[in-house]
Structure formats: C-alpha cells, structure tokens
DNA sequence: CCTTCGCGATGACATTTGTCATCCTGGCCT
DNA sequence: AGGCCAGGATGACAAATGTCATCGCGAAGG
C-alpha cells in the first residue's frame, strides 16, 4: 500500500481528494492537514511514503512545508498540487526538494498515476509549466524589492509601507520604482499583478 | 436516485467531487461541465434534479449559469459551491434563484447532506455567510462605478480605462473617486480589494 | 586593492491621482 | 411643470506617485 498524507486548506476539496485516492486499490490516505504546519506534524507522526501538498495554505505555505518535510523526513517524497501554475512556484518547489509539481486543472485520473510514478523514483512535472518556467527565467527582484512590493500589494500607501518596514518613504519609492521597471509594468498595481502571476513575491 | 450535474473549472477538483458524491448510495453524477455555458447545455440535455455550480468559471460564471438554468429548467434545483464566501455573491446567487449556497471550506460530509435537504425543499445557506450578508447591506456602487472600478482592477491607468469604456478621463476620475469613498478606501487599489472582498464588482 | 552590488537615504522634478465645484442632459416620479 | 437623480463632462487644485541623480556604507569578488 502507498501511504499518503494530504494537505489542503479547503476542507471540502481535501475530503474530495481523499475519496478520489480512496478509489485506488493500492493507495491509502493515512493523514490529512489544513495548514503547512499541521502537514509537517502529521508527516512526522504518520511517516507516509508521499506528502501531497497544496501551496496556498494559511500559517505555513506548502513550499515551506515541503522544505521542512524534505529536511526532516527524507524518506517521504513531497508532491505539490496547486491551483496556480506559476513559474516561480515551480522553481521554488524544486529548490525545496519536491518530487512532483502538478496543477489542479489537469485530469483527476492523473493524480494517482503521478503518485505511482513518483514512488518509482521519477520526477513528475507539468510539461506546459516546465516550459514556461524555463522561458521565464529566474526572479529578477531583489530581496528588498520583493518585501516592498509585497507590502504594497494590499493597497497600502507608501507611508504605510515605510512604517511597516521601518524604511524612509523615499527608499520605499525607490524600491517600488525599480520593481516596476524590472517587471516592465507602468505602475505599482501592474507590478504587483505581474509579480504574482510569475510566482515571485 | 438523485441525479446531479457538476460544474467546476478545475478538472481535478471536479473529478474529486464526483468521486465524493459517488460514495453516496442515493446520488449519481450524470454530467460534468468546466464552464457555465457548458453547464447550461449539460443540464438541458441531462435534466438532473440538482445542478451544483462553482462561481469562478470561465466563459460564463456560475451565477449567470444559475439564472439561466433556473429560467430554462425550473425543475432543476441550483446549488452554488464556491471558494469565496462573499456577501455579494450570496445575494446575487439568491436573486438568480439558487436553492443553496455553501463554501468549499465546510466539511466534505456536508455536501451530500445539503443535496438531500435541497431536494426535500429546504434552502441551505452557510450560516456565517448569511449573517455577514445581512450586516453588510446591499451593493452601494452604481452600475457605472462598478464598470469603472472593474476596468481599473488590473492596474490599468486612467487613460486606459477611459479609452476602453469610451469615457473622458475626467469622468473616469470622478467615478473612481466616488467608488473610493463609497468603499471607505484610501485609493483605487484598496477600493478594488474591498469591492472584490464583498463580491461587488 | 579596486570594483561591483545591494541596502538605505535625500532632494528635485514631472506625472498621475484623488477631490471638488459646476455645468448640461435626459429620464422618472409626483 | 417642477424636482430629483444618474450619467457625462470640464477645470482647478492638492496630494500621492514614479523617476533620477547622488551620496554613504559594507560585503563580496576579481
């Protein structure tokens, strides 16, 4: 039996995926989690063969959880299953030691197949996404540029961001300006959208 | 047997939900769709007892599909199952004739139960959301304010929006300004976020 | 050792944005 | 007929935003 731990924050989707995997005769869901933190804990106690993680989760996101599981339980293969096929996500997932990266709009039948392939030692990566990630290149934003852009994403004014990050307003403006240029955007909002679409941020 | 048509754009989630419902002895999934348009067509040909619709779908969203199904196939009860519990969504779904509104982070077991209750003639509405919708009140934005705010949501400049909507720049600024005030926001970006969070837009 | 680069800051500047008062139009309601 | 309101427009003005040049500092890296 292939023992799987499932992490996904939307309970109904989590339950549905569990029932989907339950249909497979050789797969068994031995644990569920709603946050990344919970996922790490469950994997530590259940010691599954596979950890199937969503990325968008509260408390700790799936990529951070992947890194932690990869470090603490090397015997457990980590698979990422996510809504948004963003090149930056794929890159970061691979760096975190994930063995697979797939998106939720591929067919349901592919999931079990991917699990078996991963267990056989293969790496499974959505081919469309792999191409996109390669052509997109790495994240051009510096650490600070990401921080500032991220802090401005919710509509905060420059003053707010400066306060929150303990920076001068002028400095915030400068980082924002360079982020705008690096993303080829025309203003802050476009820069945020572009960065999010690429999985930088 | 309760005959259900399932509309959801993410194939894997759709398949997983189908398998979840397949576990119920008295429920049968007789059709699936990935867009609202497809959902209407499938319901017209399959004549199910229940149409279970996601809201965020391409081509035609779930609310528009709900209205169309309610009009064309009154015997079919429409249920909305969505990621985002936004008060405005609930309100619009009810106006479109939906019999149920639930969010994907309630437990998986609730889904089949809700289907049975709807078929028994009940209306099923997430209680937390119902309270939020009542306290939030109706959408304060006028038709035009929504258009303009929606067109500005992707980071377009005022000039872009004016061009796209065939308005003068000054007019766009005025509508944007009043939308900002009605949403109690401090700038365009906050206004967009607030409006989206409420399900106006 | 010298260069480069990231971080942080300042000051100046042109644009964009948000706000307000005001005007015109055509429905709609009484 | 008169009043009211939404849509559309203009012009003026203050505030926020985006850009640029320039400076200092310290950590790599040749």
Distance, in Å, from the CA atom of B47 to the CA atom of B41, rounded to the nearest integer, reads 10
pLDDT, position A201: 84
Helices (H), A77-184: 87-95, 109-119, 127-136, 143-152, 158-165, 169-182
- Which mean pLDDT values do the consecutive 10-residue runs of chain B (201 residues) have? 96 97 96 97 97 96 96 96 92 93 95 96 92 82 91 92 92 93 92 92 83
* Percent with pLDDT over 70 in chain A: 100
Contact (CB<8Å) B13/A15: no
pLDDT, tens only, A109-145 = 999 999 999 999 999 999 989 888 888 778 889 999 9
Contact (CB<8Å) B12/A187: no
pLDDT, tens only, A67-87 = 999 999 999 999 999 999 899
Nearest to A16 among B83, B108, B189 (CB): B108
Distance, in Å, from the CA atom of B17 to the CA atom of A11, rounded to the nearest integer, reads 12
pLDDT, position B137: 75
At A74, list the tokens.
């090397």
Nucleotides on chain D within 7 angstroms of protein Cβ: 6-12, 16-21
- A96-135 b/e with 16+ CB inside 10 Å = b? bebbbbbbbbbebebbbebbbebbeeeebbbeebeeebee
Point out the nucleotide closest to A156 (alpha carbon to C1′): D16
Contact (CB<8Å) A10/B105: yes
Q: pLDDT at residue A152 above 80?
A: yes
pLDDT, position A137: 76
Asked whether residue B168's C-beta has any atom of DNA/RNA strand D within 7 A, the reply is yes
Report residue A35's pLDDT band, with 50, 70 and 90 as the boundaries.
very high
pLDDT, position A41: 97
pLDDT, position A75: 96
Please report, rounded to whole angstroms, the spatial distance between the CA atom of protein residue A188 and the C1' atom of nucleotide C7.
21
DSSP H or E segment with residue A82: strand A77-82
pLDDT, position A126: 92
Distance, in Å, from the CA atom of A197 to the CA atom of A173, rounded to the nearest integer, reads 22
């Amino acid at each position: 039996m292939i023992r799987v731990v499932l992490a996904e924050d939307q309970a109904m989707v989590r339950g549905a995926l569990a029932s989907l995997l339950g249909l497979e005769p050789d797969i068994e869901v031995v644990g569920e989690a709603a946050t990344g933190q919970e996922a790490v804990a469950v994997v530590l106690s259940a010691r599954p063969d596979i950890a199937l993680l969503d990325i968008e989760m509260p408390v700790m996101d799936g990529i951070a959880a992947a890194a932690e599981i990869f470090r603490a339980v090397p015997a457990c293969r980590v698979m990422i299953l996510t809504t948004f096929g963003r090149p930056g996500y794929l890159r970061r997932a691979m760096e975190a030691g994930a063995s697979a990266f797939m998106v939720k709009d591929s067919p349901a039948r592919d999931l079990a197949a991917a699990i078996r392939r991963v267990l056989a030692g293969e790496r499974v990566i959505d081919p469309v996404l792999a191409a996109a990630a390669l052509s997109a290149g790495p994240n051009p934003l510096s650490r600070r540029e990401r921080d500032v852009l991220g802090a401005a994403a919710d509509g905060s004014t420059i003053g707010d961001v400066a306060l929150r990050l303990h920076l001068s307003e002028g400095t915030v403006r400068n980082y924002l300006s360079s982020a705008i240029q690096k993303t080829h955007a025309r203003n802050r909002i476009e820069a945020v959208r572009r960065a999010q679409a690429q999985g930088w941020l």
